[in-house]
Amino acid sequence: MADCGKGLQQVRDIIAAARKDCSLSEKLQFYDNWATQYEEDVSVVEYKAPHLAALALASVCQLNRESKLVLDVACGTGRAAEELHRCGFNLFHGLDGSAGMLEVAKKKELYQELKQSLLGPKQLPCDSEKYDAVIIVGALSDGNVPVSVLPELLRVTKPVPKVHNDFRWILDPVWRLHEEEGIVSCYTGATFLEEVGGPPKRSTIRKSGQNIHSISILYGLTLREAQHLVLVWVSYGYTDYGGLVCMTARSSIPNLQYKAELEEEMSSLQNKGFWEQVLVQEEEHWMKVTSEREITQESDYIPGVIYIYRKMSAPSIAS
pLDDT digits (tens, 9 = 90+) for 180-228: 333 333 333 333 333 333 333 332 333 233 455 665 666 566 666 555 5
CA nearest to 144, candidates 39, 260, 250, 282: 250
Q: What percent of the chain has pLDDT over 90?
A: 55
Predicted pLDDT at 20: 82
Contact between residue 11 and residue 289 where contact means Cβ atoms under 8 Å apart: no
Predicted pLDDT at 86: 97
* Dist. CA 158–CA 83, nearest whole Å: 22
Predicted pLDDT at 222: 67
* Helix, coil or strand: residue 90: coil
* Dist. CA 32–CA 27, nearest whole Å: 9
Contact between residue 199 and residue 142 where contact means Cβ atoms under 8 Å apart: no
* Dist. CA 66–CA 87, nearest whole Å: 9
φ, ψ for residue 170, nearest 5 deg: -135, 160
* Dist. CA 51–CA 86, nearest whole Å: 10
Residues 6+ positions from 24 with CB-CB distance below 8 Å = 118
* Helix, coil or strand: residue 296: coil
Residues 6+ positions from 302 with CB-CB distance below 8 Å = 250, 251, 252, 286, 287, 288, 289, 290, 294
Residue length of the chain? 319
Domains identified in the chain and CATH numbers:
8-159+241-311 (3.40.50.150), 164-236 (no CATH)
Amino acid present at 209:
G
Residues 6+ positions from 250 with CB-CB distance below 8 Å = 141, 259, 286, 287, 302, 303, 304
Work out whether the CA dihedral 304, 139, 144, 1 comes out positive or negative.
positive
Contact between residue 94 and residue 117 where contact means Cβ atoms under 8 Å apart: no
Q: Which residue ranges of the chain lie beneath pLDDT 50?
A: 1-4, 164-210, 229-239, 319
* Dist. CA 135–CA 137, nearest whole Å: 6
Predicted pLDDT at 219: 57
Exposed / middle / buried, residue 287 (Cβ in 10 Å: 0-12, 13-18, 19+)? buried
